[in-house]
Structure 1
Amino acid sequence: MTWLVTGGAGYIGSHVVRAFTSAGIDVVVLDSLESGHREFVPGDVPFVEGNVTDTDLVRTTLREHDVEGVVHVAGYKYAGVSVQRPLHTYEQNVTGTLHLLEAMADVGVRSIVFSSSAAVYGTPDTDLVTEQTPTSPESPYGESKLVDEWILQAQARATDLRQTSLRYFNVVGSGDDDLYDSSPHNLFPKVFKTLTDGGVPRINGTDYPTPDGTCVRDYLHVTDLAHTHVVAARSLAAGATLEDVYNLGSGEGVSVRQIMDTIAHVTGVDFTPETAPRRPGDPARIVASGELATRDLEWRMRHSLEDMVRSAWAAWVHVLGEDAPH
Structure 2
Amino acid sequence: MTSSNVLVTGGAGYIGSHMILALRDAGRPVVVLDDLSTGLAAAVPAGVPLVRGCVGDADLVTSIARTYRVGAIVHFAGSIVVPDSVADPMAYYLNNTVRSRELISAAVAVGVRNFVFSSTAAVYGEASAEPLGEDTPLAPVSPYGASKLMTERMLADAGLAYGLRYAALRYFNVAGADPLGRAGQSGGRATHLIKLAAQAAVGLRAGLDCFGDDYPTRDGTCVRDYIHVSDLVQAHMLALGHLEGGGPNLVANCGYGFGASVREVIGAMKRASGVDFPVRPAPRRAGDPAALVADATRLRETLGWVARHDDLDGIVASALAWERRLAETRRPAFTAAMGHA
TM-score by length of 1: 0.93
Residue 202 of structure 1 is matched in structure 2 by 209
- Comparing 109-118 with 292-301, greater Cα deviation is found at 292-301
1:147 corresponds to which residue?
150
**CA contact 1:178–1:319 (8 Å) conserved in 2:** no
Alignment pair present for 1:18 and 2:25? no
Give the aligned partner of residue 59 of structure 2.
Answer: 56
Deviation, 1:267, is 1.1
Secondary structure (helix, strand or coil) at the match of 1:231 reads helix
1:290 aligns to 2:293 (yes or no):
no
2:318 to 265, 290, 311: 311
Contact 1:110 1:160 in 2 (8 A): yes
Measured in 2, the distance between the counterparts of 1:200 and 1:147 equals 37
Matching of residues 23-42 of structure 1 within 5 Å: 23-42=26-45
- Of residues 78, 91, 103, the one that matches 2:106 is 103
- Tell whether 2:223 aligns with 1:216: yes
- Superposed, which structure 2 residues align to 1:246-265 within 5 Å? 246-265=252-271
Change in CA separation of 1:177 and 1:320 when aligned onto 2, cut-off 3 Å: farther
Alpha carbon RMSD of aligned pairs, Å?
1.9
Deviation per CA, 1:255-297: give whole Å up to 9, x if none: 1121111101111212463445655664432211100001112
CA–CA distance in structure 2, aligned partners of residues 277 and 34 of structure 1 = 29
SS in 1 for 2:87: coil
Task: Work out the CA distance in 2 between the residues paired with 1:210 and 1:81.
Answer: 25
- Once the two structures are superposed, residues 2-59 of structure 1 have per-residue CA deviations (whole angstroms, 9 ceiling, x without a partner) of 1100110000111111111111111110000011000000011111111011111100
Aligned counterpart, 2:168:
165
Within 2, Cα distance between the matches of 1:22 and 1:248?
A: 22
After superposition, residues 227-266 of structure 1 pair within 5 angstroms as 227-243=234-250, 245-266=251-272
* Structure 1 runs of 4+ with >4 Å offset: 276-282
Equivalent residue letter for 2:319:
A
Structure 1 pair 93–280 and aligned structure 2 pair: CA distance change class (3 A): closer
User: Does the alignment pair 1:71 with 2:74?
Assistant: yes
Q: Distance in 2 between matches of 1:20 and 1:164?
A: 17
Q: Is contact 1:203-1:274 (8 Å) kept?
A: yes
Distance 2:114 2:86 in 1: 31
Structure 1 CA distance for aligned equivalents of residues 260 and 219 of structure 2 = 10
Identity, in percent, stands at 42
Are the counterparts in 1 of residues 177 and 318 from structure 2 also a CA contact under 8 Å? yes
CA contact (8 A) 1:290 1:299 kept: no
Match for residue 138 of structure 1 among 138, 141, 150? 141
Report the alpha carbon displacement of residue 164 of structure 1 after superposing the two structures with TM. Answer: 1.3
TM-score (norm 2): 0.89
**Secondary structure of residue in 2 paired with 1:288:** coil
Query: Of residues 3, 26, 29 in structure 1, which corresponds to 2:6?
Result: 3
Conserved? CA contact 1:72–1:112, under 8 Å: yes
Amino acid at match of 2:25: S
CA contact (8 A) 1:205 1:279 kept: yes
Could you tell me how far apart the structure 2 residues matched to 1:206 and 1:79 are?
19
Unaligned stretches of 5+ residues in structure 1: none
Alignment coverage as a number of residue pairs = 323
CA contact (8 A) 2:92 2:147 kept: yes
Q: What amino acid sits opposite 2:307 in the alignment?
A: M
Partner Cα separation in structure 2 for residue 53 and residue 38 of structure 1: 19
Please, which moves more after superposition, 119-128 or 178-187? 178-187
Q: Do the aligned partners of residues 246 and 207 (structure 1) sit closer, same or farther apart at CA in structure 2, a change above 3 Å counting?
A: same
Change (3 A) 1:221 1:107: same
CA distance in 2, matches of 1:184, 1:218: 19
Give the Cα–Cα distance (whole angstroms) in 2 for the partners of residues 5 and 301 of structure 1: 23
Q: Is the 8 A contact 1:248 1:299 kept in 2?
A: no
Aligned partners of 1:86 and 1:274: how far apart in 2? 28
User: Are 1:253 and 1:287, in contact at CA under 8 Å, matched by a contact in 2?
Assistant: yes
Q: Which runs of 5+ in 2 are unaligned?
A: 333-341
Quote the Cα distance in structure 2 between the aligned partners of 1:171 and 1:198.
Answer: 21
Q: 1:209 to 1:80 in 2, by over 3 A?
A: closer
Secondary structure of the corresponding residue to residue 169 of structure 2: strand
Partner Cα distance (2:222, 2:87) in 1:
25
